[in-house]
Amino acid sequence: MLSVYPQPNSPKAKKEALWLDLCDPDAVEIAEVEGLAGVALPTRENLSEIESSSRLKARDGVLTMSVPIVTHVEGGPPLVAPLGFVLSRDRLITVRFSALPAFDAVAGRFTDSGEPPTSSLGVFLDLCDELVDRLADGLEQAATDLRTLSATAFHVPDSQGRKAIRSNNVIRAQLRHVGRLGDALSEKRDALLALGRAIDFACGMTAGWGDGELASRMDGLKLDVASLDNYEVHLSDKVQFLLDAMVGLIGIAQNDIFKILTIVSIVGIPPTLAASIYGMNFKHMPEYDWAFGYPYGLGMIALSAIIPLAWFKWRGWF
């Protein structure tokens, strides 16, 4: 789909548009934009390359930049799709393959009564600003989820904590949640790093394109990206800590189970031995002739079970 901003009222106005936005374009739309702008647009394969030399290019005053952008589907994993910027003094062309709320927000400035951007560089900075804001929102949500998981794992009463740790479903759900957060943070960091490089590249290549206000906005964006990158590193460390801690809690729960099984097996050995001795059919066993031989045997079996239990309790095994 091709969107043109500001909205053209004639074919000539369309050719002089400030921003041409291609969302999952077909061959006809690509050919139309290439004819209007007089530049060759990068393909999806070109935009997906990871080398810096492939992501950031300058030729004949036209900058081509690509950034991997994270999108989310309700109930699904984060999806990564390339986003391309083709920036010149006269216009900005964006090539994307997924719906992005940041683009809708900037497009709304051209249709609402607000103040729309007045230059291609201004549109580029507005888009970067919106993308950074949404990445920041995603990091804030991840931080909230991590605090909730941390409170669930470490800041509950001992009785509730033991029940939660021993529940396989709870542990499995928590580990999956932490894993999803780790995946999402990794994708967001890739986007932040690429977006930061694109802003640095544009800042160096567009000196003199705009006034001091645009340069100041670029410097502010670079600081925002750097601070968010540091914050993402902190969150990634916390994800790793939670993963290690939960694996440790699973190990403790398993040790508790093995401890119980060990106690049961050890406590069961002396009664089994006593019952085996008095179950032998030898002729001369004095206890067989006792009037209280049967209660005596039962008492020995009971005591042989109670004494180990008492010793384990005294040792603090349970």
Return d(Cα 221, Cα 227) in angstroms, integer.
10
Q: What totals of helices (H) and strands (E) does the chain contain, helices first? A: 10, 6
Residue pair 263/233 in contact (Cβ under 8 Å)? The answer is no
Report the Cα 78 to chain-centroid distance in Å.
Answer: 8
The pLDDT score that the predictor gives to residue 161 is: 45
Question: Crossing angle, helix 120-154 and helix 168-205, to 10 degrees?
Answer: 160
Rounded mean pLDDT of the chain? 81
Residue ranges of domains in the chain: 2-254, 257-314
For residue 72, name the pLDDT band (cuts at 50, 70, 90): low
Q: For residue 255, how many other CB atoms are within 10 A of its CB?
A: 10
Residue pair 182/243 in contact (Cβ under 8 Å)? The answer is yes
Torsion of CA 268, 274, 280, 283, to 10 degrees: -170
Pick the CATH number of 2-254 from 3.40.50.300, 3.30.460.20, 3.40.640.10, 3.40.630.40: 3.30.460.20
What separation in angstroms does the CA of 159 have from each of 154, 163, 165? 12, 6, 10
Q: What is the mean pLDDT of residues 252-260?
A: 76
Tens digit of pLDDT for each residue in 29-65?
888 877 877 788 888 888 887 777 778 888 888 888 9
Tens digit of pLDDT for each residue in 89-147?
888 888 988 888 888 888 888 877 667 778 888 888 889 999 999 889 888 988 998 88
